[in-house]
Chain A
Amino acid sequence: MHRTADGPALLDRIDPRSRILAAIAFALVVSVVNRPPALLAALACAFVSAAFSGVGPRDMLRRLAPLNVFMLLLVALMPLSSGGRQLGTVGPFPYGADGLRLALTIAAKGNAIVLLLIALAGSLDINTVGHAMSHFRVPDKLTHLLLFTVRYLDVLRREYHRLRVAIEVRAFRPGVNMHTYRTYGRLAGMLLVRSLDRSERVVAAMKCRGFHGHFYLLDHFHYSRRDALFAAVAAAILAGIARLEWL
């Protein structure tokens, strides 16, 4: 979890459920707007939220990087196959204005949505997301899947490292050959078998404590006046963006 030095960031104090709902609503609205003023407003709003989220600028850039590599490709390639006013040529291909506008629109939308998702939902503890999911009446199986994945990811990672070390202390050097592939195949297979074994032991442990298919949640979220205020502000901003687009 990311925290600023002076306690929880402003957005971290908002109820996780409101944050997730706001992020979803924002993503829906931004994905259908196309006019530059509306997109710029959305981007601005995403930047401001990011500033209050407690996610550091470096983390933010690191998370945005993969998206923007893809966006750069779009900006480079899309204008080549589109009509509109010609801006120049790349070799034999015309570089069209319509394509550039479209590519930039997509880049703006993508960045605004991802930035806001990171700001609102990305700083949530994964366990909190699990709890919020069950409050949203997401099917129990999905919630359990998420929480178990989080719980056992680390155990599996350690198991993988143990196997990895066991391989390396016997002078294994990966290369492009059959021996390497076979070794990795066995590593993956062994990991799978061990996971299966472990899952059986976990089920046994759960049965011993009287599990009958239902998880009880200990922590409950509290919806406060601050959350109502947050919801009102979020709704107003979304209405503003919609107005810039359609009026």
Chain B
Amino acid sequence: MSDPLVKLERVTFRYGERTVLDQCDLAISPAERIGLVGANGSGKTTLLGLIVGLRRPALGRVIVFGKPREREADFRAVRGRVGLLFQDSDDQLFCPTVAEDVAFGPFNLGKSRREVEEIVARTLAELGLEGYAHRVTYKLSGGEKRLVALATVLAMEPEVLLLDEPTAGLDETAAERVTGILAGLPQAMLIVSHDHPFLARIAGRTLCLRHGRLQEAS
């Protein structure tokens, strides 16, 4: 088995007095798709935040792409290569138009205008969002917002995807569309979801977060 892309070693995280993650271990290998379930408030979103450095562990190590990551500067390099899809797409889409939102990440990675335009067109086409480039983000439907949010993540060409409830709040058609797209992506994934049939289709194995520890879900 090749080296894991993401590794958490005995990571502990606390909100004030409450211990959310208690010496938690996790490894994501290339092309591996892991489902993550757990009760509301059990720390699933926190776990995703730890991997991209939005939160820092009290104890333990976060190793991404073979290097331990501790400071903000360490994580800056991580964020281009690990894509995080937020639970609420309104948090993720903040540019006036779809094209600008998709372009935001690639520009920050230092791509040229021509490259960015090419990436935007390609990413939108891959997700079946042709013709959305000049749509105004806040006027999109929930399903369209989720797809555009996914496009903004994929535009950065990440190697790992962290998906926070990618199908939650979507109607059947939209959820099906998102599922189909995710199933066709080559990246390694960690997918938080309460949707068991969806996880059964997408994820190779499923972990359950309970009392701050990860265990294989039956």
Contact = CB atoms under 8 A, between A and B. Distances in A.
Contacts of B109: 210
A198 interface: yes
A205 B96 contact: no
B122 to A, nearest CB: 15
A148 B54 contact: no
Nearest to B100: A218
A216 B107 contact: yes
A151 interface: yes
A145 interface: no
A142 to B, nearest CB: 15
B187 interface: no
Contact of A209 (B97, B108, B138): B108
B12 interface: no
Interface in A101-157: 127, 130, 147-148, 150-152, 154-155
B86 A210 contact: no
B79 A127 contact: no
A150 B96 contact: yes
Nearest to A216: B107
Interface residues of B, number: 34
B108 A201 contact: no
A192 interface: no
Given A208-B84, A209-B79, A151 B156 contact: no
Chief secondary structure at chain A's binding surface = helix
B108 A212 contact: yes
B79 A205 contact: no
Interface in B171-187: none
Interface in A215-236: 215-219
B142 to A, nearest CB: 12
Interface stretch (B14-22, B30-38, B87-95, B200-208): B87-95
B92 A210 contact: no
A209 B96 contact: no
A208 B54 contact: yes
B94 A205 contact: yes
A84 B155 CA distance: 72
A205 B97 CA distance: 17
A147 B92 CA distance: 15
Contact of B49 (A148, A155, A204): A204
A211 interface: yes
B105 interface: yes
B123 interface: no
A218 B109 CA distance: 15
Contacts of A211: 104, 108
Given A127-B136, A210-B79, A219-B100, 16 more contacts: A147-B96, A151-B96, A154-B138, A155-B90, A202-B92, A205-B94, A206-B104, A207-B79, A208-B79, A209-B105, A209-B156, A210-B109, A216-B107, A216-B116, A217-B100, A218-B116
11 contacts: A127-B97, A206-B94, A206-B104, A207-B54, A208-B54, A209-B79, A209-B105, A210-B156, A215-B104, A217-B100, A218-B120
In the A-B complex, the 9 residue pairs with the closest CB atoms: A210-B108, A209-B105, A216-B107, A127-B96, A201-B91, A205-B92, A154-B138, A208-B84, A204-B54
